[in-house]
A and B are shown apart, each in its own frame.
Chain A
Amino acid sequence: MSLTARDLGLFALMGAVLAMVGMFQSPQLAITILNMSLISAIMALGVNMQWGYAGLFNVGIMGFTAVGGLAVVLIAQPPVPEAWAAGGLGILLGLMLGVATILAAVAVYKSMAPGKLRGAAIFVVLVIGYLLTSYVFGPAKSAVQAVNPASEGYLGGMNLPVILAWPVGAVFAAGVAWLVGKVSLGLRSDYLAIATLGISEIVIAVLKHERWLARGVNNVTGIDRPVARPVELQPLPWVQSLADTMGWSVGQTASVVSGLGYAGLFVIVLALLIWLAERALNSPWGRMMRAIRDNEVSARAMGKNVTKRHLHIFVLGSAVCGLAGAMMVSMDGQLTPGSYEPLRFTFLIWVMVIVGGSGNNWGAVLGAFVIWFLWVQVEPAGRWFMELATSGMADGSDLKQHLLGSAAYMRLLTMGVALLLMLRFAPRGLIPER
C-alpha cells in the first residue's frame, strides 16, 4: 500500500479538479463524474489484474460488465407470475436440454476413439439435441414474450435486495470468463484477445434479442436502488435545512445527497478491492504472477502451471469487471443493452489502465478518474475548439455545420492520441509499478 508523496499529490490534484467542477459547473455534475469514475476505477482494477499482473489482453470488458448488469435484473426485479405460468418451465427445461446436449457431445468426444464414426456420432447428438431444445424452448419463449409485452414480456427476477446482485454479477462474469479462458488460454496470446472480443459481442447480442430474459432492447427500467432516490429525499427536513445552508435548491440538494450515498457505497467496495488486490500482489502468489508475466518460459521451468494461473487471474479480473457492471446498472436503475458500445466500455477502460500505470492498482484508479473526467469534459471542449476553428467561415455554410456537428467524435480522437502518447513516451503510466 505504498503511495509516494507524488502519487498522493496526483490524487489531491484530481480531487481539486473535481471540486472545481462542483463549484463552477454544478455539484450534480461533479457527483456524476465522481460516481462513474469510481465504477470505472473498479473496472480498471479488474483489467489491471489481468494485464498488469499477468499480461493477459482482455478486449471483452463490455461483455463482462453487461453480464454483471444482467444479474441486477435477475436478482432485484419482481418475478412475473403470468410469464412463469405461461412458459417458465419450458424455458428452464429448454436451457437444461441445451446444456445436456453439449455435455452429451463432450461425453461422446471423450469416450469414443478418434475417427469418422466419432464425428458422425457427435453430429447426430448435436442435431437431436438441437431439435429437442428448440421444440421445447421456442414455444415457451414466445409464450413468455407474449405476456403483457408493453411493460413485461419477460420472466422477471427474484425480488431480492439489489445489493445481493453485486456479488452475483461478479459470479456471472466469472462463469463466462472461465468458459472463454478455458478455450483460448494456453494458445498464442492474441487468441485470447480475439476470443474475448467475440464473446463480448455475443453477450450483447443475447441481451438485445432474448426478450424473455431481460426484455432485450425494450430495456428494464425502474430497478430497485440501493440508495434513496432524490424524490424520496426531498421532503425530509434535514435535506431542506441542508439546502438552505448550502444555498442550493431542494431538488439539487436531494440529488447531490443521493449521489453521495452511491459514492459512499462505491468507495467501500473500491477500498475493499484495492486492499485485497494489494495484499494479493505482495503475497507469494502475486510474486509468482509477476514472474510468469515477465518470463513465462522460466516460470514454467520452475514448475509453475502457467495456463492454470492465467485462467485463475483471468476469471478473477473478469469477476471484478462484472461487479462493476452490476454496480453501474443499479446506479442507473435500468439495464439498456443498446447502450453498450465496445469503444465506451472496453477500449476506454484500456486507456484508463495504460494512462494510469499498468501493474499498479493505484495507477489504475487514478487513470480511471483522469480519463473519465476527460471523457466527460472533452466534448464541450471539442465543441469550443470547433467553434474557434470555424469562426472564420461564413455562417450557415455546409462545411461549418458539418464540423460543428462532428465535435462529439473529438472524444475518440483525444482518447486514441492519449493512449498512443502514453504508450510511446510514458509506458509505465502516471503511477508506475514498483
Chain B
Amino acid sequence: MEPLNALVSVTNFMLIPALAYGSQLALGALGITLIYSILRFAHFAHGDTMAIGTAAVIGGTFFLQAQGVSIHPLPTALLAIPFGMLVLIGYLLITDRLVYRYYRRVKAKPMIFVMASLGVMFVTNGITRLFMGVGETRFEDGERFIFSVRDFREYTGLAEGMALRSSQAITIITALVVMVILFWFLNRTRAGKSMRAYSDNEDLALLSGINPERVVIITWVITAMLLVTAGTLYGLDKGFRPFNYFQLLLPMFAAAILGGLGSPVGAIVGAYIVAFAEMGVTYAWRRVFTYLMPEGLEPTSMMQLLPVDYKFAVTFAILVIVLLFRPTGIFKGKVL
C-alpha cells in the first residue's frame, strides 16, 4: 500500500487538469449566467464568441512574437489579452446594436432572442474559420512546466511523478483573480449594483433611474472580458480549434443550470462540479488502486467508468439529473 503515490497520481492526472478545466468553464458559465439574468435569454453563440475572442488574442500574440516581444517565462498571449478584449467588446457591442437591440425594443419572446443568437453563432463561426481555418493552432510559448515529472521525482523520491504545467497554474490563478474582481464589481460598485437591481426587477430598476441600455452594455463588456480570458486560458492549455470551442457550449450551460441560472456563485460551483465529474468518470483509476490495494489484489481492468469519448454524456447526465430533481439549480436560480 502506497497511499502517497496514489495521491500523487490522482493529483497529477485528475485533480490538476480538472481544476484547470473547471476554471475555464467557470469563466464561460459566468458569462452565460450574466447574459441570462440581464438580457434574459440563453446565449447560444457563447462558444463561438469565445472562439472569435481567442482568435483575436492569437492574432495579437503572433504580432507580438514577430516584433520580438516576450515576457519569458510567461506566455506572450497574456500580453495580447487586452487587445483581444477590445476586439471582442467591439464585436459584441456591434452585434447587440445590429441584432439584439431591436428585439429588446419590440419585447420579443425569449425564444426569438435564442434564434437570433443562433444566427449570430453562424456568422461568428464563419468569421472565425475565415481567419483561423478549422485546424488546430497552438500559440503557447514561454516555460512549459513549473515543475516536471522528473523534477518532482528527484525532489521527493516517490515512484509516481507529478507535473504542473505553467498553463494550468496560470489558468487557476487568473481565474481566481478574475472571479474576485467580478464579485467586487457586482457587490461594491455602482454599475454592478445597478446590474443586480436590473436583474432582480426590471421595472423597479427603471423607476429608480437605472438606464437599461447602459446595463446591457456593461453586461456585454464584462462577458467579453470573461470570454477572452476563458478562451485564451483554454487555448493555452489545450490548443485552439474552433469546433472545440463550439462544443464547450454544453458543459458551460450545464454548469450554469446546475448552479442555478442567474446565480454567479452557482455558475462557478457548477463549473467545478461538471469538470470534476467529467474527469472523474472518464479517468482510468487503475494506477491509483494499484497503489491503494494490498499486494496481490491489484485491479486487472482499467477501472474506467466510461471511455473519454463520452465526457459529454457525463455533462448531459448531470444536466438531466438537475432538470429532474432540482430545476432551479443548487443555488436557487431565479427562474424555472
Interface positions, chain A 341-372, Cβ under 8 Å from B, are 342-343, 347, 350-351, 354
Docked CA distance A423–B115 (Å): 8
B16 at the A interface (CB under 8 A)? no
Query: Which of B77-85, B170-178, B289-297, B312-320 lies on the face that meets chain A?
Result: B312-320
Docked CA distance A420–B335 (Å): 28
Contact B253 A416 (CB under 8 A): no
B121 at the A interface (CB under 8 A)? yes
B127 at the A interface (CB under 8 A)? yes
**Interface residue count on the B side (C-beta < 8 Å):** 48
Q: Determine which of A194, A347, A427 lies in contact with B250 in the assembled complex, contact meaning CB atoms within 8 Å.
A: A194
Contact A187 B327 (CB under 8 A): yes
**In the assembled complex, which residues on chain A have CB atoms less than 8 Å from the CB atom of B124?**
416
**In the assembled complex, which residues on chain B have CB atoms less than 8 Å from the CB atom of A405?**
133
**In the assembled complex, which residues on chain B have CB atoms less than 8 Å from the CB atom of A351?**
122
Contact A424 B102 (CB under 8 A): yes
Say yes or no: A419-B122 contact (C-beta < 8 A), given A183-B323, A187-B323, A190-B42: yes
B110 at the A interface (CB under 8 A)? yes
Q: Determine which of B41, B116, B323, B335 lies in contact with A195 in the assembled complex, contact meaning CB atoms within 8 Å.
A: B323
Contact A194 B257 (CB under 8 A): yes
Say yes or no: A412-B122 contact (C-beta < 8 A), given A183-B324, A197-B250: yes
A5 at the B interface (CB under 8 A)? no
Contact B111 A189 (CB under 8 A): yes
Query: Which of A32-40, A199-207, A233-241, A248-256 lies on the face that meets chain B?
Result: A199-207
Say yes or no: A198-B114 contact (C-beta < 8 A), given A183-B324, A406-B130, A420-B123: no
Contact B110 A190 (CB under 8 A): yes
Q: Determine which of B126, B129, B320, B336 lies in contact with A183 in the assembled complex, contact meaning CB atoms within 8 Å.
A: B320
**In the assembled complex, which residues on chain B have CB atoms less than 8 Å from the CB atom of A183?**
320, 323-324
B209 at the A interface (CB under 8 A)? no
Chain B residue at minimum C-beta to C-beta distance from A341: B243
Contact A187 B336 (CB under 8 A): yes
Contact B126 A411 (CB under 8 A): yes
A6 at the B interface (CB under 8 A)? no
Docked CA distance A193–B320 (Å): 13
Docked CA distance A130–B335 (Å): 34
- 1/0 per residue, CB under 8 A from A, across B126-144: the answer is 1101110100000000000
* Distance of A128 from chain B, by nearest CB (Å): 14
**In the assembled complex, which residues on chain B have CB atoms less than 8 Å from the CB atom of A209?**
307, 309-310
Contact A201 B247 (CB under 8 A): yes
Say yes or no: A409-B130 contact (C-beta < 8 A), given A199-B316, A209-B307, A209-B310: yes
**In the assembled complex, which residues on chain B have CB atoms less than 8 Å from the CB atom of A199?**
316
**In the assembled complex, which residues on chain B have CB atoms less than 8 Å from the CB atom of A415?**
122
B182 at the A interface (CB under 8 A)? no
B265 at the A interface (CB under 8 A)? no
Contact B42 A194 (CB under 8 A): yes
B119 at the A interface (CB under 8 A)? yes
Contact B119 A419 (CB under 8 A): yes
**In the assembled complex, which residues on chain B have CB atoms less than 8 Å from the CB atom of A197?**
249-250, 253
- 1/0 per residue, CB under 8 A from A, across B102-124: the answer is 10000000111011101111111
* Distance of A121 from chain B, by nearest CB (Å): 16
A169 at the B interface (CB under 8 A)? no
Most buried by A among B301, B305, B309: B309
Interface positions, chain A 383-407, Cβ under 8 Å from B, are 405-406
A191 at the B interface (CB under 8 A)? yes
Q: Determine which of A189, A190, A198, A412 lies in contact with B319 in the assembled complex, contact meaning CB atoms within 8 Å.
A: A198
**In the assembled complex, which residues on chain B have CB atoms less than 8 Å from the CB atom of A59?**
44, 118
**In the assembled complex, which residues on chain B have CB atoms less than 8 Å from the CB atom of A208?**
309
Docked CA distance A324–B177 (Å): 50
Docked CA distance A412–B246 (Å): 14
* Distance of A127 from chain B, by nearest CB (Å): 10
Contact B121 A347 (CB under 8 A): yes
* Distance of A103 from chain B, by nearest CB (Å): 15
Chain B residue at minimum C-beta to C-beta distance from A410: B126
**In the assembled complex, which residues on chain B have CB atoms less than 8 Å from the CB atom of A417?**
119, 123
* Distance of A95 from chain B, by nearest CB (Å): 16
Contact A420 B99 (CB under 8 A): yes
**In the assembled complex, which residues on chain A have CB atoms less than 8 Å from the CB atom of B313?**
202, 205
Contact B319 A195 (CB under 8 A): yes
Contact A350 B118 (CB under 8 A): yes
A184 at the B interface (CB under 8 A)? yes
Chain B residue at minimum C-beta to C-beta distance from A386: B130
Docked CA distance A159–B257 (Å): 44
Contact A189 B110 (CB under 8 A): yes
A301 at the B interface (CB under 8 A)? no
Docked CA distance A194–B301 (Å): 35
Chain B residue at minimum C-beta to C-beta distance from A422: B119
Contact A420 B116 (CB under 8 A): yes
Docked CA distance A405–B132 (Å): 11
Contact A416 B130 (CB under 8 A): no
Docked CA distance A145–B167 (Å): 39
Interface positions, chain A 165-206, Cβ under 8 Å from B, are 183-184, 187-191, 193-195, 197-199, 201-202, 205
Q: Determine which of A194, A342, A411 lies in contact with B253 in the assembled complex, contact meaning CB atoms within 8 Å.
A: A194
* Distance of A60 from chain B, by nearest CB (Å): 11
Docked CA distance A411–B257 (Å): 33
Contact B335 A188 (CB under 8 A): yes
A46 at the B interface (CB under 8 A)? no
Docked CA distance A209–B125 (Å): 27
Docked CA distance A350–B119 (Å): 10
Most buried by A among B114, B120, B124, B319: B319
**In the assembled complex, which residues on chain A have CB atoms less than 8 Å from the CB atom of B312?**
198, 201-202, 205
Contact A423 B112 (CB under 8 A): yes
Contact A412 B120 (CB under 8 A): no
A-B residue pairs, 8 tightest by C-beta: A416-B122, A413-B126, A412-B126, A416-B123, A419-B119, A420-B119, A198-B316, A190-B42
Given A57-B111, A187-B323, A406-B130, 19 new contacts (CB under 8 A): A57-B115, A138-B301, A188-B327, A189-B110, A190-B114, A191-B257, A194-B257, A198-B312, A199-B316, A209-B310, A350-B115, A405-B133, A406-B133, A409-B130, A416-B119, A416-B120, A417-B119, A420-B119, A423-B119
In the complex, 22 of the A-B residue pairs with CB atoms within 8 angstroms, ordered by the A residue number, are A130-B305, A183-B323, A188-B336, A189-B111, A190-B42, A193-B114, A195-B316, A197-B250, A198-B254, A198-B312, A201-B247, A201-B312, A342-B246, A343-B122, A343-B125, A350-B118, A351-B122, A406-B129, A411-B126, A412-B129, A413-B123, A417-B123
Interface residues of B, Cβ cutoff 8 Å to A: 41-42, 44, 99, 102, 110-112, 114-116, 118-127, 129-131, 133, 246-247, 249-250, 253-254, 257, 301, 305, 307, 309-310, 312-313, 315-316, 319-320, 323-324, 327, 335-336
